[in-house]
Structures are given as C-alpha cells and as structure tokens.
Amino acid sequence: MREGDDGRLPIPAGHRVLLPERGTTFVRELNEPDHGPHVVLVHGWIASGGLNWLTAFEPLGDRFHVLAADNRGHGRGIRSRSRFRIADAADDLAALLDVLHIDDAIVVGYSLGGPIAQMLWRHHPDRVAGLVFCATGFDLVQHGGARMAMAGAASMAAAGLRAGAIPGAFPSALARQLTRDARGANRPQTLAKWARAEMQRHSWRVVAEAGLAIGTYTSSDWIGDIDVPTSVVVTQRDRAVPPAAQYGLAAQIPDARIHRYDGGHVSCVETEFGLMLTDAVTDVATRAGLLVPDTDVIDLRPAPARAVGVS
C-alpha cells in the first residue's frame, strides 16, 4: 500500500446515502455504475468499509463498479438505538441496492461480513448474482463453550457501553498495528492516523452488540441452499476463524470454489490479498455471466497507486 505523491491514500472518497425508514449510511464508491459488474464489499467486525478493503479497491476498480458501505454502528454507518442484528445489517444493504437500482450484485463478505452477505442472499436473493466469502464461516464461533463465553462477554460490554463509555485507547492500539503489515512492510503514518479516525467514529455499544451477534450466529440449517456462483477465500493462518471452518463453509455450498491465501485474520491489509480477492471476484463474475471469458481478462499485476481523496 503506497501513498500518492501528494500524501493522500488511494482509497475512494465516500458519500452519505439516505435509506428510507432506516437511516443514513456512508458508502465508498469506485467508478460509475456502468463501468462494469457491481461489487458490494461487506466489512468485518471493528472495521469500516474503507479500512477493511483498502488494498482491494485499486485492483477491483479495473473491471468493476465497487461499493463499500459502513455497517450500522461502524464508522459512519446507520445510527440506531436498536440492538445490532445481522438481519438488520443485511436489510440495510438491500435498501442501499434499492436506492441505487442494483439487482445483480456480487456480494463479498469478510469475517462478520460473511454472515451479513449470507443473510442478504437468504432474505433478498433477487439482489445477489454471486457471493465471495473471506475469512468467515457458517458460524464464526463453533464450540459451545467458546460461543457462550463470547456471547456473555459481548453482552456485558454492550450493557456497559450503553452508558456512553468510549475506549479511546483501543482504536489507537489497533491503528498502530497498521503501521506494519503482517509481512513486515512499512506502512505510512498517514494510514495509521486515518485508521484511528475511522475506528473512533464507531458506536462502541453497537460494536459490542455485533460481537454478541457473532457469538450466536449460525446458518448451518440453510447455507447449503445457496444457488449462485460462490467462491471462498481461505486465510490459511487464521486463528480467529480457523481454516477448517472456512473449508467447512465451502464444503456446504454447491460448486463453491476455494482460493487459498497464506495469511491470518487481518490479511485484508496486505496488498497481495487485494489481488487474490480480485481473482476470486472475477471468477464469480464470469460464472455468473457478468463477465465474458477471454475478452474480460483482468491483469492482476500490481499497478501504480492512484491517489484519490479520503474523507
């Protein structure tokens, strides 16, 4: 990941979108809608649309119209007094697609974004042309004891945060980790400062409730009904969502294809991950009939970063 010559980060600027009867969300958008197939990126827990997908925008932008919304309570996503529910987050995305008149999106979910993408397909199958799952499963906490422990801890944290406490040191600690990626490459300080600002916008009460949702979610009863082209990007050194769980997800979905990435749960901050993801999305788009083989071939070689404004 490189800064532009003027110090700006190669992340698309965002804009606010009013979703009728739901609230106002924030969406980063790359390219015009007629640039290519629509790709909706759904970020993970404690991240934002920009933060989770910062290495994916540029390679995806060569062929796709890309949207990355902030989930409710995360970043500048919808603010609501209601408890966070994965079904509500999925319905938010459906409402966004309605507003933008999109009915054939490839939906990409990372970690928590995986269940949200799964639920979007289940509740609004007419909107989803294909799916890509990354670092996720059909349940993210597989063992009963761990599930109960995470649910209990998240529930207590959410109750405390309803009083308005904000763990200011937590975003700073996470942001500092971004100054070096998992492969030891130096990161610009601009990125750490921007990441800290992104996370300081979270509603930490909602983030804690999202942790509770992670601890209780499962789609095991219906995940095998998915009937659109699907790829699963397995992060093979993942300690948060074990690779076995990710392979298990792929095994449950008919004709799902596996793309292996040699990284951990925060692989999304690595440049190579953005290229791998683009490969997986291109494969799904081709199988869904949204790209034509042979003529719509994407060049996955790293390209010079294009500096666009970050807001």
Beta bridge partners of 66: 30, 39
* Residue 233 pLDDT exceeds 60: yes
Residue 155 to residue 60: CA distance in whole angstroms = 37
Q: What is the spatial distance between Cα 131 and Cα 107, in angstroms, rounded to a whole number?
A: 5
pLDDT number for residue 299: 43
Is residue 203 helix, strand or coil? coil
Residue that the structure tokens 């309570």 belong to: 73
Residue 187 pLDDT level (bands cut at 50, 70, 90): low
Per-residue pLDDT for 241 more than 60? yes
pLDDT at 290: 97
Q: How confident is the model at residue 188 (pLDDT cuts 50, 70, 90)?
A: low
State yes or no: pLDDT of 3 exceeds 90: no
pLDDT at 306 over 80: no
pTM of the model: 0.83
Q: How confident is the model at residue 91 (pLDDT cuts 50, 70, 90)?
A: very high
Q: What is the distance between the alpha carbons of residues 15 and 157, in angstroms, rounded to a whole number?
A: 31
Supply the pLDDT for residue 297.
45
If you average pLDDT over residues 101-125, what whole number do you get?
97
DSSP string for residues in 226-238? --S-EEEEEETT-
CA distance 194 to 90: 27
In this prediction, residues 104-116 reach a mean pLDDT of 97
Query: For the chain, which residues make up each domain, given as ranges?
Result: 14-149+219-287
Give the DSSP letter of residue 67.
E
Residue 9: enclosing H or E segment and its boundaries? none
Range of lowest pLDDT (27-41, 67-81, 178-192, 296-310):
296-310
Predicted pLDDT of residue 18: 97
Mean per-residue pLDDT, 239-263:
96
For the 14-149+219-287 domain, the top CATH level (class) is alpha beta
> Under a CB-based contact definition with an 8 Å cutoff, are residues 73 and 43 in contact?
no
Band of pLDDT at residue 311, cut at 50, 70 and 90: very low
- Contact call for residues 86 and 59 (beta carbons, < 8 A): no
In tens, the pLDDT along 145-186 reads 443 334 444 334 334 434 344 444 445 555 555 545 545 455
